[in-house]
Chain A
Amino acid sequence: MQTDEFTGDHLDVLKELMNIAMGNATASIADLLQAFGTMHIPHLAITDMDGLKNYIDDALGSYERYYVTKQLFGGIIGGEFIFVMTDESAANLGNYLYDVSQPNDADIMDAVIELTNILSSTIISRLTEELKTKVQFFAPSTEIISGNLLIGDEETLNYHKIIIVSTVMEFQSHKISGQIFILARDETIVRLRELIDQKLEELYA
């Protein structure tokens, strides 16, 4: 039996949990920004390294400069939380949080990190809470990345099975939006499936 095999039901569960988690995150960010966030439908995919590259390329389009924050989380399920903002969105965020018309790079970086922090902790802790497990967060790091350099080339040499959960955060009134990617691979996919199975068993019990 392949224990990492995801059925439509597994994906559906994960998608719905992500939706609920994103609801919490949006509310938290709405508090921070004093604005109303538009909810988007989450997307899921199970793929390999090349697939991940294509997935991210498709999601981001051809914008030139991005603020990319990556944060690792670990525990029974571990992975990487990635939040991507265009520099325009990031500048608007820095502008709002630091209340200056021309936020400097450090202000923007810090604002992006702060936002990512709230997003990742609310989303991941809500997801894990629903799956009845716990995770630990590691310090995030933000980089300004041009073009499609989000994934290092050397990584594509390794073959991994990767699960991608993605959605969009959008606050239209502030012209602030960003893309969220939660990535996990190999072992975590197996564990994730086990946790979802437990959840499904409860439901059908």
Chain B
Amino acid sequence: MTYTLDHCNVVFDSLENGTLVVDEECTVWSWNKWLEINTGIASDAIIGNNLKEFYPELDYKGFQRKIRTTLRLTTPTFYDASLSNRFITIPRNKVTTSLLKIMQLQVTISPYIPALKRVMISIHDISDLHELKITLQHRMAEIAHLNSELKQDKQIIDANLMIVKTDCGCLITDITEAFSRFFGFKKEELVGSSLSNLFVANKQESEFLQMKDLLEKKQKWSGEMQINTKNGKKVWMDAVISPYIDEKNEVISYTAIYHDITDKKRIELLSVTDPLTKLYNRQKFDEVFEEMLMRQHWTQENTFGVLIADVDHFKSVNDTYGHQIGDAVLITIADILEKTIRTSDVLARWGGEEFVVLLPDVDMKKAALVAEKYRQAIEQMNFSEVGPITASFGVTVFSYGDTQEKMIYRADVGLYRAKKNGRNRVESVQP
């Protein structure tokens, strides 16, 4: 027996954890080297004595109950390792962290010599593990807090910002509640369809291509665009489309954020429009004229022209049929001209019964031909109440050193000449 116990002591001393043997009354029968070193209590001093003398603060009622349970069930019992230290206090020497100043222990009570009511108690230092657990708990709490904030933000965004998310192939994956509400589309109606389906078909090609180009270069695009709502209403949107790029520099998804600028667009349009004919007003025409003059590439063969058209005998229309009919005639002429002009031409109402058109990429001859086309268009139109209406045209082209005044003056000269030569005709004036 003695030999066996000595042998056990050798084994206990070699263990890298605390091992002690006590009986039901807490008398210590073995105290290994690990305990000697970590508690500062020599085995000679404690063996044969009661643990209570060395550690009076322990909860012996619970401890002894556990010893009895171990002996009765002849199975190991465990101490709670996750909360406060319930066993002997061992200081911890870790310097780099100060979370735990006392060793966190995992304590197992195992049957040792049941006949003598002795149990073996193994003590494992699980401080590092415990420290990690505490740190993790803190982090989890932080994450939970951040998540709830994020969730709130997300709700605000969802309710108030119009956002569309797409995959890398521009197929819609998600829309916000605000987008859904504004456009009248349900999420499931849009998910899976292409983002470009949302754009109005007649959107200016060049801008669309520019957007495509930027996005293909994995860059952000921003600009104005027209979009159809579900019930076909056209709305103006200020849009920012940005790619989301992963660490391999590959596009994962796109996010398009929209802002409704329909009202702004309407005001903008009002300020440049003639209220009666809905053509550009004189102010806008002046602006475009200046831009046209600024362009540097005009040559004699490829320059721009300006024409002034004046409705013949318009005063008598007003006098005979009244101003309302007169206005109707002006509106009809505006419509005819708008239908006849080339896409690049800029048409405006100059004032009264006078219209002006800027004709880019023409020479003198071609400008006169365009004017002739307009003249014929008006002449062929039947104005139901008033009967046929004609207009006279003065036309000129830009030449180096010209100003707006000079060009308008020349066109006016042409117009005067056309009136004088019998009306319903085009007169060109060379620069």
Contact = CB atoms under 8 A, between A and B. Distances in A.
A97 B73 contact: no
Given A32-B69, A118-B69, A139-B106, A109 B78 contact: no
Contacts of B108: 139
Interface string B80-95: 1111101000000000
Given A98-B62, A114-B69, A137 B83 contact: no
B76 interface: yes
A99 B61 contact: yes
B75 A121 contact: yes
B278 interface: no
B79 interface: yes
Given A118-B69, A118-B73, A122-B73, A110 B79 contact: yes
A46 B109 CA distance: 35
Contacts of A118: 69, 73, 77
- What's the dominant secondary structure at chain A's contact region? helix
A121 B66 CA distance: 13
B254 to A, nearest CB: 29
A164 to B, nearest CB: 23
A141 B106 CA distance: 10
A140 B78 contact: yes
Given A97-B62, A139-B108, A109 B83 contact: yes
A106 interface: yes
B257 to A, nearest CB: 32
Given A32-B69, A139-B106, A114 B82 contact: no
B95 to A, nearest CB: 27
Interface in A135-165: 137, 139-143
A105 interface: yes
Interface in A81-102: 97-99
Contacts of A117: 69, 77-78
Contacts of B86: 106, 110
A118 B68 CA distance: 12
A105 B80 CA distance: 11
A136 B204 CA distance: 76
A108 B136 CA distance: 23
Nearest to B84: A106
Contacts of B78: 113, 117, 139-140
A142 B78 CA distance: 12
Interface in A18-77: 28, 31-32
A179 interface: no
- Find the residue from A28, A117, A125 having the highest chain B CB count within 10 A: A117
Nearest to A111: B62
Nearest to A137: B76
Given A97-B62, A99-B61, A142 B80 contact: yes
Contacts of B61: 98-99
Interface string B97-118: 0000000001010000000000
B62 A110 contact: yes
- Find the residue from B79, B82, B84 having the highest chain A CB count within 10 A: B82
A109 B82 contact: yes
Nearest to A32: B69
A105 B82 CA distance: 11
- Find the residue from A28, A110, A118, A141 having the highest chain B CB count within 10 A: A110
Contacts of A122: 73, 75
Contact of A105 (B62, B65, B75, B83): B83
B116 to A, nearest CB: 21
B76 A110 contact: no
A114 B77 contact: yes
Interface string A115-132: 001100110010000000
B69 A139 contact: no
A105 B65 CA distance: 19
A106 B73 CA distance: 24
Task: Give me the 3 closest cross-chain CB pairs, A-B, nearest first.
Answer: A121-B75, A110-B80, A106-B84
Given A31-B72, A114-B62, A142-B80, 16 more contacts: A98-B61, A99-B61, A106-B83, A106-B86, A110-B80, A110-B86, A113-B80, A114-B69, A117-B69, A118-B69, A118-B73, A121-B76, A122-B75, A125-B75, A139-B108, A142-B82
Interface of A: 28, 31-32, 97-99, 105-106, 109-110, 113-114, 117-118, 121-122, 125, 137, 139-143
13 contacts: A31-B72, A32-B69, A98-B62, A105-B83, A109-B82, A110-B79, A110-B80, A110-B83, A117-B77, A118-B73, A121-B73, A139-B81, A142-B80
